[in-house]
């Protein structure tokens, strides 16, 4: 049984969606970011960086969402080509999300919602960079159904952040190919199930939301 320690964030959803796509047994354990549970010693023993998600697979601990996607895809031999150029393409678009889309959209979220008005230059910079990265996706998806050939962990990783486009202030009407890809993936039953993991029902104050915003970046 795989244990998934997670929260309802784009990085958390990357892993819950893949686990649902794989249709393997797992247990989701909610990490309350507003209470800083990811900073407790028991969690730091699983991830020294104090971030979700983390999986524990028969005692083996894996942190960093991209590393978790690769671990699971390799273990179950799905959503990742075995070798060669096809594998390289998926890895490139996965790294695009890990090194570009996720960090830049995350910072866009922070300055747009958690620190509004505090730094106009940063707010504009991260929003414009976020738009540029959606343009990169648009260029690729204009010519391809999915980012790297067949549906893969690269799509799952990038989609989980694009799913927060409204929160980022981005209108997908300006990116028609991204919108087409987004809607196709959104209809997948496993994606819909993965977005419900873990249930997010707590009511947060603005102060707690600010803490959560800093925690998920």
**Mean pLDDT to the nearest integer, 117-140:** 97
Domain assignment of residue 150, yes or no = yes
Q: Report CA torsion sign: 9, 209, 171, 101.
A: negative
Domain of 26 in residue numbering reads as 2-78+193-208
Q: DSSP characters for 12-70?
A: HHHHHHHHHHHT--EEEEE--GGGTGGGSHHHHTT-TT--S-EEEETTEEEESHHHHHH
Q: Is the model's pLDDT at 136 over the cut of 50?
A: yes
Q: Residue 50: what pLDDT? A: 98
Domain assignment of residue 97, yes or no = yes
Structure tokens at 177: 């190919």
pTM, to two decimals: 0.92
Shared domain for 8 and 61, answered yes or no, is yes
CATH number at residue 97: 1.20.1050.10
Q: Residue 199: what pLDDT? A: 82
Tens-digit pLDDT profile for residues 60-106: 999 999 999 999 999 999 999 999 999 999 999 999 999 999 999 99
In the chain, the number of structural domains is 2
């Amino acid at each position: 049984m795989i244990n998934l320690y997670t929260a309802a964030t784009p990085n958390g959803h990357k892993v819950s969606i893949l686990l649902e796509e794989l249709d393997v047994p797992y247990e989701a354990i909610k990490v309350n970011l507003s209470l800083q549970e990811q900073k407790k010693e028991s969690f730091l023993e699983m991830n020294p960086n104090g971030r979700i998600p983390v999986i524990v697979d028969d005692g083996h601990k894996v942190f960093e969402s991209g590393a978790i996607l690769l671990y699971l895809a390799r273990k179950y031999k799905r959503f990742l080509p075995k070798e060669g150029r096809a594998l390289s393409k998926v890895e490139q678009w996965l790294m695009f999300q890990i090194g570009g889309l996720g960090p830049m959209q995350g910072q866009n979220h922070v300055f747009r919602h958690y620190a509004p008005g505090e730094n106009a230059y940063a707010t504009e910079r991260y929003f414009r960079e976020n738009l540029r990265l959606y343009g990169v996706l648009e260029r690729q998806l204009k010519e391809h159904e999915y980012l790297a050939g067949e549906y893969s962990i690269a799509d799952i990783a990038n989609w989980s952040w694009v799913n927060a486009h409204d929160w980022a202030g981005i209108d997908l009407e300006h990116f028609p190919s991204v919108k087409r890809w987004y809607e196709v993936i959104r209809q997948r039953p496993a994606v819909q199930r993965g977005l419900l993991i873990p249930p997010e029902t707590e009511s947060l104050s603005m102060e707690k939301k600010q803490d959560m915003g800093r925690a998920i970046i």
